Amino acid sequence: MTSFGKTIASLALIGAASLHVPTAVAQVIKVGVVQTTTGGSAALYGIEQKNAIEQVVEQANASGKLGKLKIELVHYDDGADRNQTVNIFQRLIGKDKVSAILGPTLTTSALAADPLAQKAGIPIIASSNTAAGLTQRIGDRLFRVSPPEDIVTPGVIKRVVAQNKIKRVAQIYGIDDQLTKSAYTVQKQALADNGVNVVATETFQRGDVDFAAQLTKIKAQTPDAIVIGALAEEAAAIVRQARQLGIPQQVLFIGTQSAISTKFFELGGAGAEGTIVGTAWYPELDNPVSQSFVRDYEARYKRRPDIYAAYGHDAAALLVEAIRRAQSGDSARIHAELTAIKGYPGVLGPIGFDANREPTVEPKILVARGGKFVPLDGKGADK
């Protein structure tokens, strides 16, 4: 063989060998995202949560904090239909082989679908399921970052009743949604504990738009306050129509976390002013992590985040942290790391999970003022 031929042969061998040099390939961890992005009120929450989750995961993947791991989100819209949620969970578990699930948006859907993940040993982190007792009812695979109504509502009722010397209230709530039914029960007990007389109780169904009949009956009883258990669209319609029917401004509205939405003020109009709610966060919270999140969210989505975006952020951030610690897509290892997280620097403040996998965050009392929710005392956290 000539020298030229030997050179070509050597180069060919080198080239062939280079094809077999191992390269660093990221290990993909699939995470299911079940958020309602169509379907009435629920979409107001689901879109915000999905946005924040995507933002967190993209930032984590780009930062290198996960090492050899990369998270891939697998999103499905359940359309606020619990039967569809069940189908989606079955697909995520059986076909997509996800390591964890973020969602679903509604408590009603969670009660239908979460048991499938529980049985499969897959951890779930809920961003907006605030019905009382949910984590104990589902099992040890369910965590949540939104404080439940039985933790938040009693403090709200106690504070508002005492400050405003409320003696007579009316309740109105949705009878076909697990969250609103749970909210009603918690509100009713809190009112009884504070010696308040319930003079009227009215109901509606999700998707109703006309509340004139219920509000007319409530008006006739001249309550000091109206306590509302409703999702955002219905809550906004109730407060708007109540003022249009002549229920005076001095009659207070007390709602739940589900009333908080970027659309509440748009849909509620002038009637939204003065609505009081309990929750865990507001955009002006004096927290560097929160302030950075608000800036990033506004830059990306061209609007301010609401509480559901904040909940979505911390749900995703805690899952990312658990995956980082586990350095694995193994669901059991991720679950173990989730249970161990304490005092993580989240948007909501230092956050982790207690023995019942409930969030260790500080509830706050907010009031609707000038198109946004602000602290009731004008300062910050309120118990």
Strand, helix or coil at 47? Answer: helix
Q: What percent of the chain has pLDDT over 90?
A: 85
Question: pLDDT tens for residues 323-349?
Answer: 999 999 999 999 999 999 999 999 999
Question: pLDDT tens for residues 118-176?
Answer: 999 999 999 999 999 999 999 999 999 999 999 999 999 999 999 999 999 999 999 99
For position 381, what pLDDT does the model report? 38
306 vs 347: CA distance, rounded Å? 12
User: Considering the chain, what is the average pLDDT of its residues?
Assistant: 92
User: Which residue is listed with tokens 């280079």?
Assistant: 18
Structure confidence at residue 377 as a pLDDT band (50, 70, 90):
confident
Which among 71, 42, 44 has a CA at the least distance from the CA of 55?
Answer: 71
Q: What percent of the chain has pLDDT over 70?
A: 92
CATH architecture of 150-279+365-375: 3-Layer(aba) Sandwich (3.40)
Question: Quick check: pTM over 0.75?
Answer: yes
For position 380, what pLDDT does the model report? 42
For position 378, what pLDDT does the model report? 67
| C-beta separation of 135 from 195 below 8 A | no
Mean of the pLDDT values across residues 263-268?
Answer: 91
For position 261, what pLDDT does the model report? 82
103 vs 59: CA distance, rounded Å? 20
Which among 284, 268, 252 has a CA at the least distance from the CA of 381?
Answer: 284
231 vs 239: CA distance, rounded Å? 12
Question: pLDDT tens for residues 178-206?
Answer: 989 999 999 999 999 999 999 999 999 98
Q: Which residues are 126's β-sheet partners? A: 144
236 vs 169: CA distance, rounded Å? 19
Question: pLDDT tens for residues 9-29?
Answer: 444 444 444 444 444 578 999
Cα torsion angle, 243, 249, 254, 256, sign: positive
Q: What is the DSSP letter of 271?
A: G
DSSP states along 78-99 = -TT-HHHHHHHHHHIIIII--S
Structure confidence at residue 276 as a pLDDT band (50, 70, 90):
very high
Q: Which residues are CB-neighbours of 303 under 8 A, at least 6 positions away?
A: 262, 297
The yes-or-no verdict on residue 355 having pLDDT over 80 is: yes
Mean of the pLDDT values across residues 293-305?
Answer: 96
Structure confidence at residue 362 as a pLDDT band (50, 70, 90):
confident
239 vs 253: CA distance, rounded Å? 7
For position 41, what pLDDT does the model report? 81
**CA trace torsion 208, 250, 277, 196 (10° rounding):** -90
Question: Could you tell me where in the chain the CATH 3.40.50.2300 domains are found?
Answer: 27-147+285-352, 150-279+365-375
> Among 3.20.20.80, 1.10.287.990, 3.40.50.2300, 3.40.710.10, what is the CATH number of 27-147+285-352?
3.40.50.2300
